Chain A
Amino acid sequence: MTDETATSPAPSRRSLLAVGGAGLALGAAAAGGAVALTRDGGDDMQPAAESGGAVPFHGAHQAGIATPVQDRLHFAAFDVKTDDREAFVQLLKDWTKAAALMTEGRAVGEGAYGGLAEAPPDDTGEALGLKPSRLTLTIGFGPSLFDTYGKAFGIADARPEALVELPKFPGDNLDKARSGGDLCVQACADDPQVAVHAIRNLARIGFGKVAIRWSQLGFGKTSSTTPDAQTPRNLMGFKDGTRNIAGTETDRLAQHVWADGPSWMAGGSYLVARRIRMNIETWDRTSLQEQEDVFGRDKGEGAPVGKAKERDEPFLKAMKPTAHVRLAHPDANHGATILRRGYSFTDGTDGLGRLDAGLFFLAYMKDVRKGFIPVQRNLATDALNEYIQHVGSAVFAVPPGVRDGKDWWGRGLFERKDG
């Protein structure tokens, strides 16, 4: 699957100009045989930014989905606080402008210093001097945006069919204060301060129009969209994301990730976010054999049961019937495939001395009804359920990319002509 990269078209001039050291990064990666490419877009392929560099904000798809996964996350879900359509649209425009600047490593508005002494600076300033750190900002619209504000915003009839509320899954113990949201912004960067700065500044711009409902910090990506030599591990110590869709796999992306209609969503995707708490302490007291049986892979190499190498094709029937990989595999779900982009989280302890830690699961898919829902249903008998609990949940429609400097997040939705 990485062979495709050999025939990839040369990077466009724009991408070479946009990314410092891009040529070098491409050369090095090509030599390694596994190119980290960002943005599919056919003829619009771009090399991954070098560590610390900038990921282009504009494009056919929003960055932060198929682009290489960064090390850190700050995810925020917002409630809308206005029913003034004009004010909300202006917010989306203001956010887009700020996002474009921040992803380039630049300060918001007139910056963090040097302005009027009597006014607070436009930018909060904690990212001054830091590199762009491959910051990506990705916006999503929740079902409640259409339900609650559909009439006021003139988008009541534009809710995509694929944007469904998730059903109650067995074992769910969802905290309302960590679930839902009219909007979300996913900020990923290699530097946590850059990601936090981005959410903080967007929240500030949004005061009065939107308010943060909940947010989540994440570290240690748990899956990768670049088939690196090393697959990252989750907090249970297991490799996660071996079979994830790579950013270079344009066919699989088109088949499983990028949305079709309605037209304002074409090129967008659907995002499911789940805060999955791990019973870390009991897991750590579980025998190695049990741990490996629960997953269906070995802990060291990550090879499926009965196989030698991580990337060997798994033989599902060799695994226990309740093994996680067996139940989650596309073959067990009529081919249902999602692109995962999750992060580990640790929010201190829970007052009982237990780590409040786990996986902040983020997955992108073409249709929630055909992606996450059937897979999660199938996981009802998952042996892993003894060690995890889903405590937060949200779903969002993620519109396509911002095309250029005149375009803005959600423009297709708010200026659609086809209803």
Chain B
Amino acid sequence: MRAVRLSVATAVATVAALTAVTGCTEKSDAKTGGSGAIKVTATDDSCEVSKTEFPAGHVELAVENKGSRVTEVEILFPDDRIVSERENIGPGTQHTLTAEVKSGDYRIACIPGMKGKGHRQDVKATGGKAVKRDPRLDEAVAAYRQYAQAQADETLSKVTTFTDAVREGDLAAAKKAYAPSRIGWERTEPVAESFGDIDPKVDVRADGLEEGQKWTGWHRLEKALWDDKKLGKAEKTLADQLDTDLKDWQQRVGKAEITPTSMANGAKELLDEVATGKVTGEEERYSHTDLVDFKANVEGAEKAYELLKPVASENDAALTKELDKQFAALDALLDKYREDKTSYDFTSYDKVGKADRKELSDGVNALAEPLSKLAAAVVSK
């Protein structure tokens, strides 16, 4: 049985929540319903709560499953981010669920069968510092969360194509599968980086290693393929490791702390990635597939921007006009380096001359500078 899953990156994870983990036993029936507890009654087709308004701070849900199926109860932000959850609540059993919440809108969901969205109740935490935002921003965050998850899901199969080829010792096939295996990662890199521990395992370059750190991940394999030109036992182990680490990413990506401002800043960070690593040819120094990463970074930034645009354009129309223009300009510039605009077969970066690299760099600056103002445009008003 899985214990309560805690989102590492969720700021609201607290000591109280940790107590819940450690206190959770196989047949937990922890004292339900202290005086301040909110009673949650789950049935097969409803989710009733005793209070829809409660003071912000430490919140305790006393859950009773009166339905016929195993259920799951979650406290959610309006954008579907999980604040706290409890799975595997058997029929007829009682469990408690605790969380630390700031004031603002939330939802409590009961999910019979632990699949789908379940039945939901809107609730409100009051008092303290209010966290209020445009519901369209919550939709944007929810959509971006889905995007990040979809990218991770897709990446996994492409990575397997790559790592299988490595394991089979097929240099040509591995080379071919290398760049495509990175696209989903590059599109959503700031989300992955927010976990802190995954990025150094899968995407570090030789010069980025800390003392004593073992070099693993894509770029280590990139060197094996293009520089050493051989695949041995060590590489096979590295391929296995890459699969494992990326599965970890795929499973955690949905729990990342994402806010409208972190989305906007993440978009800018993607362009910064391009400006510091791709445009110089450092990122893919052996394979020279930098333009594939470049394109993926821009696509990821564009996705975040498009989702935030409805609100941003109301607050700062001049900014979104400029961003539309600069995204189009950079996309057009990148298109010069591929024959088929739907493929990711880009010109090898070692064939891109100094003047053309400068042009790409100028294009990135032209987009990244206004993009750095998107976060403010999303929160202002």
Tell me the A residues contacting B by CB distance below 8 Å: 79, 81, 116, 118-120, 177, 204, 207-209, 211
Contacts and interface: CB of A to CB of B under 8 A. Distances in A.
Interface size class of B (residues with CB under 8 A): 20 to 34
Given A119-B373, A119-B375, A120-B372, A207 B366 contact: yes
B306 interface: no
Contacts of B368: 207
5 contacts: A118-B375, A118-B378, A207-B366, A207-B369, A211-B362
Contacts of A204: 369
Nearest to B367: A208
B326 interface: yes
A119 B362 contact: no
Nearest to B361: A211
A118 B379 contact: yes
A120 B272 CA distance: 14
A208 B380 contact: no
A208 B376 contact: no
Given A116-B380, A120-B373, A211-B365, 15 more contacts: A79-B362, A116-B376, A118-B261, A118-B264, A118-B379, A119-B372, A119-B375, A119-B376, A204-B369, A207-B365, A207-B366, A208-B322, A208-B365, A211-B361, A211-B362
Nearest to B268: A120
Contacts of A209: 366
Interface string B347-381: 00000001000100110011111101101101110
Interface in B260-295: 261, 264
Contacts of B378: 118
Contacts of B366: 81, 207-209, 211
A316 to B, nearest CB: 45
Interface string B65-103: 000000000000000000000000000000000000000
A357 to B, nearest CB: 24
Given A81-B362, A118-B379, A208 B373 contact: no
Most buried by B among A177, A204, A208: A208
Contacts of A119: 372-373, 375-376
A204 B372 CA distance: 11
A21 B379 CA distance: 45
A209 B366 CA distance: 7
B375 A208 contact: no
A231 B319 CA distance: 50
Most buried by B among A81, A118, A204, A209: A118
A313 to B, nearest CB: 49
A119 B380 CA distance: 10
- By Cβ-Cβ distance, the 10 closest A-B pairs, closest first, are A119-B376, A208-B366, A207-B369, A211-B362, A118-B375, A207-B365, A116-B376, A118-B376, A120-B372, A118-B379
A108 B264 CA distance: 24
A208 B326 contact: yes
Contacts of B376: 116, 118-119
A152 to B, nearest CB: 15
A204 B369 CA distance: 7
Nearest to B377: A119
Nearest to A204: B369
Contacts of B375: 118-119
Contacts of A177: 354
Contacts of B369: 204, 207-208
Nearest to A120: B372
A100 B119 CA distance: 61
Interface string B321-359: 010001000000000000000000000000000100010
A98 to B, nearest CB: 14
A134 B311 CA distance: 44
A113 to B, nearest CB: 14
A79 B365 CA distance: 13
Contacts of B264: 118
Nearest to B368: A207
Contacts of A208: 322, 326, 365-367, 369-370
A102 B366 CA distance: 23
B141 to A, nearest CB: 15
A118 B361 CA distance: 25
B241 to A, nearest CB: 38
Contacts of A211: 358, 361-362, 365-366
